[in-house]
Amino acid sequence: MKRFILFVLVMGITVTLFAQNTLYDYRVASGTWGLTGDRLYQNDANARLAKVNIFLPQSGLTYYDFNVRYEGGAEDGHGGFGLHVYIDVPYHAVSWGAGRSYLLWLNYDETPISNSGIPANLSGQVYRSTSDSQMELVHSISLNEYLPLLLANISHSIPFKISVSSTSGEVRVYDPTDPTMNTYYYFFINTGHIPSQSNWVALRTNGIKLSFGL
């Protein structure tokens, strides 16, 4: 059995979203998403709010382990992608937010809006979503130290490992340059803003073509 895209460890139970080229339960909300071989592609570089909602039970400590490959679209100096975690109620259409949830976002913007709080070039953000139309930036950090490495490996799949605890609120983003994936950056989210159990996550892209896999 083939296993790919978003590999998740939930309270010691391994769950895969894809098996035998079939996604268990997902809804394309916006953008152009599709399976090709063992990867999920978002193929519309013009989609600013591309989103696919994926049914995935989450509770306690959840690990999200996947890789991302650049497929084009950032020639205009802008592009980004992210993962909405612990969505309370999914919205299966184009939207800015995703109910009550948190969006973990990787951004590339050569000329960000000066008062946006987003550093130029490569950066990471955390957004708190309060509804399908409202999100606010709660954390932002420059990642430009990783930019030369990213550009040198732009045609390769970049591994990502993230853990989120719905009980403590701790989020760990593991360093992909560490082959053991034991080095991580951590911060805390408000556990009162997310459900202790959730059935949905969402993959998001903005102005970029990407593919996702294991």
Contacts of 194 (CB under 8 A, 6+ apart): 85, 86, 88, 100, 101, 102, 166
For residues 4 and 137, give the distance between their C-alpha atoms in angstroms, rounded to a whole number: 31
| CB hemisphere CA count around 103 (13 angstroms) | 33
For residues 91 and 7, give the distance between their C-alpha atoms in angstroms, rounded to a whole number: 23
**With contact defined as beta carbons under 8 Å apart, do 80 and 15 qualify?**
no
CATH superfamily entry for domain 3-213: Exo-inulinase; domain 1 (2.60.120.560)
Indicate the burial class of 158 (C-beta count within 10 angstroms; 0-12, 13-18, 19 or more).
Answer: middle
Show me where the domains of the chain are located.
3-213
Q: Which amino acid, 12?
A: G
**Per-residue pLDDT of the chain in tens (214 residues, 90 and over written 9):** 233 334 443 333 333 444 333 445 789 999 999 988 889 999 999 999 999 999 999 999 999 999 999 999 999 999 999 999 999 999 999 999 999 999 999 999 999 998 888 999 999 999 999 999 999 999 999 999 999 999 999 999 999 999 999 999 999 999 998 989 899 999 999 999 999 999 999 999 999 999 999 8
pLDDT in the model for residue 38:
84
pLDDT in the model for residue 14:
33
**Threshold 0.75, pTM exceeds:** yes
Contacts of 155 (CB under 8 A, 6+ apart): 69, 70
Angle at 95 (CA atoms; ends 94, 100), nearest 5 degrees = 135
For residues 85 and 160, give the distance between their C-alpha atoms in angstroms, rounded to a whole number: 15
pLDDT in the model for residue 170:
97
For strands 78-87 and 61-72, give the pairing: unpaired
Contacts of 18 (CB under 8 A, 6+ apart): 2, 3, 4, 5, 6, 24, 35, 40
Short-list 174, 173, 172, 166, CA closest to 190:
166
